[in-house]
Amino acid sequence: MFTIVAPCMNNFMVAHRFEDAATKGTALDDTIDYVLTLRMRPVKVKLRLIAAPDVVTQYVMVLRSV
């Protein structure tokens, strides 16, 4: 997912959290501070990462910091 949709999130802070939760079979609901930087000026945001072991869809919600 992160290589096509959001390559700037294909790292240990974001993508690996989803992978770890899937491997352990646990739910994921974390909010982290993050800086979007790919092909743009750096933008501080909060990311909410949501996934469940019995659901195929995973979510990344972005809240721009003010």
Q: Please report the pLDDT score of residue 49 as a whole number.
A: 96
As a whole number of angstroms, the distance between CA 46 and CA 61 comes to 8
Q: Class of the 7-64 domain?
A: alpha beta
From first to last of its 66 residues, what are the pLDDT tens digits of the chain? 677 778 888 898 999 999 999 999 999 999 999 998 877 789 999 999 999 999 999 999 999 865
As a whole number of angstroms, the distance between CA 36 and CA 41 comes to 8
In sequence order, what are the residues at sequence separation of 6 or more whose Cβ sits closer than 8 angstroms to the Cβ of residue 2?
9, 10, 14, 15
- The residue ranges of every structural domain in the chain are 7-64
